[in-house]
Structure 1
Amino acid sequence: MPPINLAIVGVGKIARDQHLPSIKGNPDFKLIAAASRNGTVDGIANFTTMKSMFEAMPEIDAVSLCMPPQFRYEAAYEAISAGKHVFLEKPPGATLSEVASLEQLAIENSVSLFASWHSRYAAAVEAAKSFLASATLQNAHIVWKEDVRHWHPNQDWIWQAGGLGVFDPGINALSILTHIMPTPVFIKSATLEFPENRQAPIAADLKMTSASGIPVHAEFDWRQTGKQTWDITVATTDGQMVLVDGGSKLTIDGKSVEVPEQSEYAALYHRFANLINERRSDVDIAPLRHVADAFMLGEHIFVEAFND
């Protein structure tokens, strides 16, 4: 089977750090074009708009959309309407309604749509899910704290309405939680801290409960300095399970669990190729739904201004 002709749209930090190396290492794809207002990729055709790219290169089969979520719907709509398979960076859209619309459009155009959640493909996540499936859970605690100045320097879009703020990393924790928990989880209350000069939160505290009555507490903060923390702890009658470093490491009852090495984005592109070849879509919006619920139920507290 010939490789899938792929284009990347939005050539920024995430595209360069994760997408381009993963595409290069996957023989199922051949990167032939890029469209971006500000960036280019060496060795392939580059365009400033998707429209001009599609007009010049109708042989493109699929696109990976790496622009901020506020602008992703229009790009995805254009690509799907042109008959292209679409890979959506996380979060898949700025609103739930946008993603629902794209899912229906993909069905109508017989193309694959992939709402990617890279943290679900961290090396230890599947082992954690397997353990929890047969355990009796008592409670869960998420601590997801990092330094926004390190990870998103001078990225104003992330502080604008729809940019998600601290939920940009926090949604990674929610993507793991919704994948590994044996029963659904619902937000009961939330506190969101907004810098007085920003439209998106810098911290969030979520109180949740599973369908089976298990309490879940999540703490997200973008003001962490020093060691960064991306941990999920679940207490069970079979011992404490801890996912560390964003799901890359796992301990159960204090003992390390051996897991296979795995690149998150390499796994995402493997999944995308399979979806295209099978003419299927994968559009799970559970993590984004939790973020929407947090904004719906959350108490808004204003804190001191934040500046890069």
Structure 2
Amino acid sequence: MLKYSNIPIIASFFCLWLNSLFSKEVQIIVGFSLIFTFGILHGANDLLLIKNMKNSTNKISSKKIFLYYVIVVLFGLLLFYLIPMVALLLFILVSSFHFGDQQGFYLDFKVSKYILIVYPFIYGIVILFLLFFLHSNEVKVIVTEIIRFKVPTLYINEILLTSGLIFLSISAYFYWKFESFRKKLQTELFLLLVFAILFKTSSLIWGFAIYFIIWHSIPSILDQIKFIYGSFTFSNFIAYCRNAFAYWLASLLGILLLYFLFRDKEIFNALFFSFLAAITFPHVLVILKMMHKKTTKNP
């Protein structure tokens, strides 16, 4: 990650420049293309990650692991079909923690274990709702399609303000209490400014794609390759892609099937995001387990 650490900032400002060249339609096309490639790829090797975790799951056959994984995905889809509001709220909560955790808020000082969970979760909420706040009209349309009825308000402003105040309060305490955390916090506050500019100047899909790919998916892929193979090399990257290909292709075909069946209907956006949410649920659990194994290996 050290070699990659400066690339996201450069890439983000490059994407800012692209905003002036791309129309909104082109941004959406390129954004979806990135999500379909690197975005889906970063979650397509979950089964290989599970097999590389030296615990009791090694005793379970690959077929059973695959079956359990598919059951979780199908449960997620069923939840979106039966209780879409609950499923959507769960997806936002899970994604927020996942995004905040991937940003690297691994506290190397003694704090409550609850803070270790709450802090990255709140940070993820801030990032996600910053995007929602700057594209609130588009978000309201998609949410209405997902839950199948119109809500008076989504409380986006209130949630962003509340989570922002909580995040700043905890951050201020850590900044005052722990000198080792100050540089990291300064960097993240600068990045929040970068994210705000990116989200403001781009479409909803383009802004989400930039963050999701540059700041989440690619760093996650690098972490996964190091966990599976011990180090990142081009040959290990090729092996990673080869192992992920079947599951990546299956996910892509599932999305394409939804598109061809429902492309002319208003519910396509709802089905698309529901499908992404469903495959996100098991992925987050796998990555949390992977990070735990990394932590126990390198205390």
Q: Which TM bucket (shorter chain)?
A: under 0.3
Scaled by the length of structure 2, what TM-score is found?
0.25
Scaled by the length of structure 1, what TM-score is found?
0.25
Which has the higher relative contact order, 1 or 2, with Cα contacts under 8 A spaced 6 or more apart?
Answer: 2
- Specify which structure has the higher proportion of strand: 1
